[in-house]
A and B are shown apart, each in its own frame.
Chain A
Amino acid sequence: MFGLCGLSVVVVFGMLLLIIVFIVIEGAGVISWDFLTEMPRDGMTAGGIMPALVGTLLLAVGAIIFALPLGVLAAIYLNEYSREGKLRRWIRMGINSLAGVPSVVFGLFGLALFVNLLDFGMSLLAGSLTLGLLVLPIIIRATEEALKTIPMSFREASLAMGATRWQTTIKVVLPAALGQILTGVILAIGRAAGETAPILFTAAVFYMRVLRVGLMEQVMALPYHIYALMTEGIHPEEQEAMAYGTALVLMVLVLLINGVAIWMRIRSRKIKKW
């Protein structure tokens, strides 16, 4: 049994390594400073991916700006205010189901609600909101986990001094949980940066000649750019090399983001003394 488990670990790590090595070998050739900072040129066969990089960062940040307050407040309601019971179980189940919805469904929902009904059109705003919905369960769960690790005795001490529940949450519980919440948030940013389907119908364009940044502007995005390079255009070979280069950038970006999250988790564990 031990042998089998050991083997599984080797296979898993082997695959991970293989993916990384493969992408690096295929993609490293096109990587250069210009690749990161220039607009795409000549039908996406030359130039860089700057607008896609910028677009992905904007989408991820936009998603968090929307999902962070909403998610944290929802988690506070669930963990600090609501009492054990039917309502809370239903809400939890809803959140868990939301986490299990395929991302392309979020894309369609975003199209219907944000693009059409609210008339935001295909835009950074509509894409961020859609991605925000997608990462909302991650943020709610991470925050709830974080709040649960805060000892009851902190809350009791605060309440016993005549603090309201809200004061207790804001001044004692949240600051103590902040490190862990941020870890979850950063993981959510990584998730948002890597998703394609939710922005497919809500925000992303194949190609832009000049970079335009604005809430109501469409954006390019790294994952979608890979898709575009592989399926559109008339120079498949050059485009494929560009696609691997883009994939490498996206992978490094997501790994970096996750690395920061891991580093923060370790740090908050070290600081914590209760």
Chain B
Amino acid sequence: MVETPTVRRTGKAVPPDQLKPKFIIDKLNLWFTDAHILKDVTFNIPEKHVTAIMGPSGCGKSTLLRTLNRMHDLNPDCKITGSVKLRGTEIFNPEVDINDLRKDVGMVFQRPNPFPKSIFENVAYGMRIHGERAHKVVEQRVEEALRDANLWNEVKDKLHQSAFELSGGQQQRLCIARALAIKPDVILLDEPASALDPISTSRLEELIEELEGRYTVVIVTHNLQQAARVSQYTAFLMLGELVEFGITDEIFTAPSDERTENYLRGIFG
């Protein structure tokens, strides 16, 4: 048996197929030119829970995540088949407005990437591009988003300073605030803590736990402890195939697939 990291959350998780799905991913295949990166990936991402995507480097985790808000549209070498439904609507459907989709499905990147603007303007950016003009509303939502991202107390006195003056961990929480400010349903996080020190990482993890129940969160991570701490469900990818998907605790304690077990053992053994 694989030794597992401590699981902080209590309470028994419900199997994912008994939950309302946010994304229904069906036979998703993806190629970059000729390289077949995602192979027949099929699973449902449950609504208002935290789902982790795990797997060895290069297995396609980021690629899968970026499919969910159609970031691959920018890449002419990328070809996708299969289906991804968000709340029942096919996201690849040409009638879907990609900007509306991305408004609903926010994303936070691996490296903190605030804009070269003030802290306030960073968080206000999304509202402004989506047409919010009223200063009162913007101000209020900026504060709300910064509070939700556990950053308000640290920045409330310097909202108009450059975002680059924040530490890496603060910048990453700012990026989360920026994503939250446009009130998305889903937040995609691609190894959000990989550039952060341990203290910033644990603050970020606390934040992600707090988002559970209000947002659908999908987080890519290399770190098993992190997945165990923040997620209820885990999808395990290998070489572009979905090896396993289920309740995080169960996957870690009793993986049903040999490959998962070997991977976990490789990391802990």
Interface flag for A164 (CB, 8 Å) = yes
Minimal beta-carbon separation of B133 from chain A (angstroms): 14
With A273-B164, A274-B116 given, is the CB distance from A162 to B74 under 8 Å? no
A154 touches B103 (CB 8 A): no
With A156-B109, A161-B126, A162-B182 given, is the CB distance from A175 to B116 under 8 Å? yes
Q: Which B residues lie within 8 Å of A274 (CB)? A: 116, 164
* B102 nearest CB neighbor, chain A only: A162
B113 touches A153 (CB 8 A): yes
* B122 nearest CB neighbor, chain A only: A157
Interface flag for B146 (CB, 8 Å) = no
Q: How many A-B residue pairs lie within 8 Å, measured between CB atoms?
A: 70
Q: Which B residues lie within 8 Å of A156 (CB)? A: 71, 109, 113
Minimal beta-carbon separation of A123 from chain B (angstroms): 42
* B112 nearest CB neighbor, chain A only: A153
Q: Which A residues lie within 8 Å of B117 (CB)? A: 175
70-107 of chain B: CB within 8 A of chain A: 71, 74, 76, 98-103, 106-107
A151 touches B113 (CB 8 A): yes
Q: Which residues of B are at the interface with A, using a C-beta cutoff of 8 A?
A: 69, 71, 74, 76, 98-103, 106-107, 109, 111, 113-117, 125-126, 128-130, 162, 164, 175, 178-179, 182
Interface flag for A108 (CB, 8 Å) = no
The list of the 7 closest CB pairs from A to B, nearest first, reads: A162-B103, A162-B102, A153-B113, A160-B107, A162-B99, A273-B164, A161-B126
* B114 nearest CB neighbor, chain A only: A157
Q: Which B residues lie within 8 Å of A161 (CB)? A: 102-103, 106, 125-126, 129, 178-179, 182
A224–B178 CA distance with the chains assembled, in angstroms: 56
Q: Which A residues lie within 8 Å of B115 (CB)? A: 154, 157-158, 172, 176
* A176 nearest CB neighbor, chain B only: B116
157-184 of chain A: CB within 8 A of chain B: 157-164, 167, 171-172, 175-176
B129 touches A153 (CB 8 A): no
Q: Which A residues lie within 8 Å of B162 (CB)? A: 273
What interface size band does chain A fall in?
20 to 34
Minimal beta-carbon separation of A82 from chain B (angstroms): 11
Minimal beta-carbon separation of A155 from chain B (angstroms): 9
A153 touches B109 (CB 8 A): yes
B100 touches A162 (CB 8 A): yes
Q: Which of A83, A272, A273 has the most CB of B within 10 A?
A: A273
A154 touches B116 (CB 8 A): yes
Q: Which A residues lie within 8 Å of B99 (CB)? A: 162-164
B130 touches A154 (CB 8 A): no
Q: Which A residues lie within 8 Å of B101 (CB)? A: 162
Picked from B74, B114, B129, B179, the residue with its CB within 8 Å of the CB of A163 is B129
B116 touches A273 (CB 8 A): yes
* B103 nearest CB neighbor, chain A only: A162
A163–B115 CA distance with the chains assembled, in angstroms: 13
A157 touches B182 (CB 8 A): no
Q: Which B residues lie within 8 Å of A172 (CB)? A: 115, 125
